[in-house]
Chain A
């Protein structure tokens, strides 16, 4: 594979963090540069398609959350997101209502989490990215409404890199590790290895994203189990 960075007329080269990019026929085109990629297979996000969704059982989801919680405990910074009172209120309020069918989640429900917490990409943002990527995949597969993230609104509340990750994730553009977690967990396959593979990412980014995925699946399965999976997950998280 070769990567060719083409400069603009003014001689500037290199991508700026958070810069708008679009996939072009030969690679990536941004405002300041065009990166041509030769020899690489074209990227096709499997989350952009509709798929068969088989929710993991409540016990499996809760076990996954317990696994994440144990790894949060071992993080140098401690369990930042999961011990954040605002996050707990959000999960025990809005998510529980959504899982029970009493609320339809929209972007506004997540705004309070955007920019919340520490890290290069704030913990709240990572959670939102994970949640919306899984939730929207489920919704897309079932022909339901999706959560649409307003770039303008998130950009004013967080760093550009994080805003971009949330927007792309919600549209189904995630990295291979996240894609594997979502597809394995919703495909009836074991996913604890996927969780552990993501765990080492960043300080807690991988944990926050994974937690978002699992809680989205617990909410999504609410129509089938009346919110039992989510309650079990929150109990596992609440230790």
Chain B
């Protein structure tokens, strides 16, 4: 049996339709051990599977930090030995329906946002965002970094849990799709710019948060934390993207990409009709703007699950909605427009909910089609943060990067092997 053109078209329409119809809704926040059944000394990380010996500097830093954070070791040396000896087990976020930006490390006691897809019923997860600069997800693991993580778990997460509990009682949860849709019309791309989204989030949860019964000082500290970090909603936006792409995953004959991710060593993708098989190639190094004192030579190859946003039809694919993003990732406003325009060439549809005002409210490009990537030679472009190549340093810039075309060739060859001839 060989698949027909009509069968592929129908499958792709179904997959992209389900991606757009997905209704990711925030319903809880609690430790990963409880929500994701992350047991024992297991750590999740961004991107495709990876052995410790192949891990890049920032990924190593984040893993070391997480081992110390969990109390499994009290020094860097001991932490490394635990991982080297296999006592600490590594696995991909995506294998647990989770995503995390940059190193994307999730450990059992870290709080995770839990989202439920009200349309298709799946649950997805992401960790909390710490801010920018010296943070665990960029490979920093100093005391200051780990203290902040503990404060987030002990102070911020409980308040958010009580808040979302009230939201669930009132409305069934906090829907992410409307927030992303609105933020895209307010100048965010919802990958590297979440200024509007975070403001909308703060505004919308405030009436519930003030009624949680926490004391004013704690509420003030939590509010300040949310307000002080424009990336507060990035992780929820990513978990929403994971829910959307999961909805489009597993459609027989579909050539649409449902995961794009990087672990700082390799970049990898999933294809809707090819199960959870990873297609990988070495991760590229981003081009962009550098924090003072850093240059391209300091950059690690790209990492993070955050390209789930582009996979779901926003982020870099919606850069035309976010002209101000060029002050963060570099390039010109015209270049941002060009990126979005190019992505229409390789996608199945225009999003029916995510609209770009500057393009006359055209829907964002959504549903990356392997066949179109190969036919046009245009690979998906994403925007991204840039980590220092050494463990412990942190973020050194932000920019854009294009996925290696070889990944799409390998995936398409596998598709043809399975369905084509």
Contacts and interface: CB of A to CB of B under 8 A. Distances in A.
A6 interface: no
B413 A67 contact: yes
Nearest to A70: B371
Interface in B379-421: 406, 409, 412-413, 415-417, 420-421
B412 A196 contact: yes
A239 B421 CA distance: 10
Interface stretch (B1-9, B75-83, B244-252, B285-293): B1-9
Contacts of B417: 63
Interface of chain A, main secondary structure: helix
B203 interface: no
A67, A70, A73, A200 — which one has the most chain B CB atoms within 10 A of its CB?
A70
Interface string B188-222: 00000000000000000000000000000000000
Contacts of A196: 374, 409, 412-413
B224 interface: no
Contacts of A236: 2, 420-421
B377 to A, nearest CB: 3
B354 to A, nearest CB: 23
Interface string A58-87: 010011011101110111000100000000
Contact of A74 (B372, B406, B413): B372
- Quick one: which of B371, B376, B416, B417 has the most chain A CB within 10 A? B416
Interface residues of B, number: 24
Contact of A75 (B4, B375, B377): B375
A176 interface: no
Contacts of B369: 74
Interface in A221-239: 232, 235-236, 239
Contacts of B9: 73
A71 to B, nearest CB: 5
Interface in B358-380: 369, 371-372, 374-378
A59 B2 CA distance: 13
A192 interface: yes
A193 interface: yes
B421 A199 contact: no
B375 A192 contact: no
B409 A200 contact: no
Contacts of B5: 69-70, 73, 79, 239
Interface string A15-29: 000000000000000
Contact of B374 (A66, A79, A199, A232): A199
Nearest to A203: B375
A66 B420 contact: yes
B322 to A, nearest CB: 27
| Interface majority SS (helix, strand, loop, mixed), chain B | helix
Contacts of A67: 412-413, 416, 420-421
Contact of B416 (A66, A79, A232): A66
Contact of B2 (A74, A75, A239): A239
Contact of A71 (B374, B406, B421): B374
Contact of A65 (B375, B413, B415, B421): B421
Nearest to B371: A74
Nearest to A67: B416
Nearest to B369: A74
A236 B369 CA distance: 21
A73 B374 CA distance: 12
A79 B420 CA distance: 16
Most chain-B Cβ atoms within 10 A of its Cβ — which of A193, A199, A207? A199
A192 B406 CA distance: 11
Nearest to A75: B375
Given A196-B374, A236-B421, A70 B416 contact: yes
Nearest to A58: B421
Given A236-B2, A236-B420, A71 B375 contact: yes
A67 B417 CA distance: 9
Interface string A205-230: 00100000000000000000000000
A192 B409 CA distance: 8
Interface string A156-195: 0000000000000000000000000000000000001100
A192 B372 CA distance: 16
A200 B374 CA distance: 6
Contacts of B416: 63, 66-67, 70, 192
Contacts of A59: 421
Nearest to A236: B421
Contacts of B3: 239
Contacts of B371: 70-71, 73-74
A69 to B, nearest CB: 8
A199 B412 CA distance: 12
Which of A59, A65, A74 has the most B CB atoms < 10 Å from its CB? A74
Nearest to A207: B375
21 contacts: A59-B421, A63-B417, A63-B421, A67-B412, A67-B416, A67-B420, A67-B421, A69-B5, A70-B420, A73-B5, A73-B9, A74-B255, A74-B374, A200-B374, A200-B375, A236-B2, A236-B420, A236-B421, A239-B2, A239-B3, A239-B4
Given A67-B413, A73-B371, A75-B375, 20 more contacts: A63-B417, A66-B416, A67-B412, A67-B416, A67-B420, A69-B420, A70-B412, A70-B416, A71-B371, A71-B374, A74-B374, A79-B5, A196-B409, A196-B412, A196-B413, A200-B376, A200-B378, A207-B375, A239-B3, A239-B5
